[in-house]
Amino acid sequence: MNMRKMSGVLLVSLALTSACDAADKNAEKSMQEAPVKPAVVSKTAIASGAMIHDAEFYVLQAQNGEKWALEDSELDKKLAELKKKYGQPPNIIHIMWDDTAFGDVGIPAVQKIRGFETPNINKMAEEGILFTRMYTEVGCTPSRAAVVTGRLAIRSGMYNIGMLLESHGMSGKEVTMAEVLSKAGYATAFHGKWHLGDIEESYPHNQGFDEAFFTGYNQILSLNTVVAEQANASIGLHESMLPKDPYKLDDTFITKDWVQIAEGTKGGETRQWRDNTHDTYEAIDPEAQKRTLEFIERNARAGKPFYIANWPMMSTFLPARPKDCSVSRSMLMDGLQCNVDVFIGKVMDKLKELGIAENTLLIAMADNGPMAHNAPAGTGFAETIFRGGKGDFLEGGVRVPAQAWWPGVIGEGQIVGDMIHEVDLFTTFARLAGAMDSIPGDRVIDGIDQTALLMKGDSHSRRDYTFTYAGPQLGAIVKGNYKRHMISPDPVGEASGIPAAFYFLPSDPREKMPVLTQLIHLKRPFNRMKLRHDLWKKKYPDSHEVYGIPWTGVVNASDEIKALAKPKIDASKLPFDPLEYIEHLDQLPFDPAMDPDIGS
């Protein structure tokens, strides 16, 4: 880690120990008296402009900072040698697909059971790192927001998973990886499933990318098609092909049009690419992959370092593809074996062909766990070793397959047991690019520099904790091998202050056996972590997603898209503004008492 950037060390643990006890709802009666304010043993202000981490990181840094500083000196020397050898900092490629359980890729034995194979992704693991504790957010939109900002989605307000004409998106005030790397001279591109909003402010080329080819939504776009309506895979969206409803009174209720896929350049136009048919949907990944390979070659030949995120659609929810790919004949496995894996093989071959493989970091991973609940038929999503899936704060929802490949820099055949979180990619990529000084110092950056883990291997992570949110609610905290469900499986015990909500993950990876007496000693440590986290959030408050008219600024937009900004209904006949609701979308509720046993 760049220790100059991280110069402010807060010994928060010591300062807040007594405060945590005082804040415990179930403290002893003596605590009802005016609590004694704890003495601050030591407190060092964060230097102006320095990167701000979550409070928990400073507890680790206070104990390991000297060792990390020595490591950083070695790493800086190594990175300088690489830059001198290749004449530029390393290229960075991040490929992230959807909804895959840990073990489904990278572990051939699991694939043998599941009826498919991914030889190229497995080769990445064989020739590089197979992560066993890569954590993510619980769903598509929050996961993508976390990667591009280096911040938990709760901090940017991007925990709402956007659907058709959601009228929301990531704020332009967020600083993205593309913006950070652009300042270091990188060419940047985004190709594939963006899913971070459908308003102009949130388009990727308005968030720092030089070029973008992107969807505003997820794979349900494949069901928003005429052929899906014909197959009853979608119901009622395409009214023009349905019998006229004699009882219909409201012609504004059903969505009329949207943008399936768009393209744009930084400072340039935004255009819809093709139409909203299923044929166009099926053309998204081939086009995105073609553009990615061209971008790699163009910048390699120009001698310009590049960062590219290719996040594929992977498959379609409409069972229309041939069944001659995988033995499993399912959407997930066919998409991985005959689409994503083939593309990753092409990327690896292209890097070798251009002679830049040894100066390129390739990360390939899933964005969250499998769609274990309410998945369309024939998709093939399933839990493996961990319980839960997409939307859950259980390990199965947020612990995903991930590989790192960088020939000559990352040692071969590593199975890494360290904890890493997808937000760490933001800070790590910035470190590799020499762009740490471009990371903003006015907000919490959850990402931790994991350059040492990549270059030195197992046991060199600088993280031993995660905070997992379910929507806006803190669902669980992990510290090392221990986990505490904050949305408790034992509400009665929780109310009494003695919940059976603690887990020892090595012996209970499926989180089926909550423990009380053997792990109740962790009550105070986890309370301390939560309070540190919450107090830091008060000092550096969360931001919010933004709302607006969807798909403005699209130069070739249809009349129906243009009409979204001016509803056809005569506003003079209404006692309210028909677009006023957009300003209040953030008031829609999330259930704070959601069931953590989903997926059992």
Tell me the HSE value of 20 on the side-chain side, using a 13 A CA sphere: 19
**412 is a domain residue:** yes
What confidence category does residue 292 fall into, taking pLDDT thresholds of 50, 70 and 90? Answer: very high
**Is residue 209, in this structure, part of any structural domain at all?**
yes
Asked whether residue 20 carries a pLDDT value surpassing 50, the answer given is no
Q: Are residues 555 and 430 in the same domain?
A: no
Asked whether residue 104 carries a pLDDT value surpassing 90, the answer given is: yes
Exposed e or buried b per residue across 403-414, where buried means at least 16 C-beta atoms within 10 angstroms of its C-beta: bbbbbebbeeeb
DSSP H helical segments within 271-366, as ranges? 278-302, 331-335, 341-353
Are both 435 and 557 inside the same structural domain?
no
**Residue scoring higher pLDDT (376 or 486):** 486
pLDDT of residue 490: 85
Give pLDDT tens digits for 438-453: 999 999 999 999 999 9
Is residue 531 situated within a structural domain? Answer: no
Evaluate whether residue 16 is within a structural domain: no
The answer to whether residue 455 sits within a structural domain is yes
The two structure tokens encoding residue 423: 């937000």
Share of the chain above pLDDT 70, in %: 90
Choice among 160-169, 403-412, 584-593 with the minimum mean pLDDT: 584-593
Please report whether residue 35 resides in a domain.
no
The pLDDT value recorded for residue 5 is 46
* Beta-sheet pairing, 414-416 with 129-135: parallel
pLDDT at site 36: 52
Which of the listed residues 418, 435, 469 is the one where a domain comes to its end?
Answer: 469
Whether 517 is in a domain gets the answer no
Query: How much is the pLDDT for 14?
Result: 42
Nearest 10 degrees: CA dihedral of 555, 557, 563, 564?
Answer: -90
Is 536:524 a contact under the CB 8 Å cutoff?
no
What pLDDT is recorded for position 23?
Answer: 42
Residues 146 and 278 in one domain: yes
- The DSSP letter of residue 197 is B
Question: What integer pLDDT is reported at residue 44 of this predicted model?
Answer: 63
pLDDT at residue 348, as a whole number: 98
Residue 73's domain comprises 55-469
- Tell me: the pLDDT tens digits for 542-571? 999 999 999 999 999 999 999 998 877 887
Same structural domain, 463 and 558: no
> Do residues 132 and 242 both lie within one domain?
yes
Structure tokens, 359: 């100066």
How many structural domains comprise the chain? 2
CATH no. for residue 127?
Answer: 3.40.720.10
pLDDT confidence of residue 215: 98
Chosen domain end from 406, 437, 469: 469
pTM score of the predicted model: 0.92
Class of residue 445 by CB neighbours under 10 A (exposed 0-12, middle 13-18, buried 19+): buried
460 and 576 together in one domain: no
pLDDT band at 172 (very low <50, low <70, confident <90, very high): very high
What does pLDDT average to over the chain?
A: 91
Distance in angstroms (rounded) separating the CA atoms of residues 512 and 533:
27
Work out the pLDDT band at 35, boundaries 50, 70, 90: low
pLDDT, one tens digit per residue, over 342-359 is: 999 999 999 999 999 999
User: 210-219, 288-297, 373-382, 473-482: lowest mean pLDDT where?
Assistant: 373-382
| Of 37-41, 426-430, 518-522, 579-583, the least confident | 37-41
Last residue of a domain, one of 452, 469, 486: 469
Q: Which residue has the higher pLDDT, 596 or 135?
A: 135
How far apart (Å, rounded) are the C-alpha atoms in residues 138 and 483?
Answer: 16
Q: Is there a single domain that holds both residue 178 and residue 63?
A: yes
Does residue 47 have a pLDDT over 80?
no
Q: What angle do CA 127, 129, 131 make, to 5 degrees?
A: 150
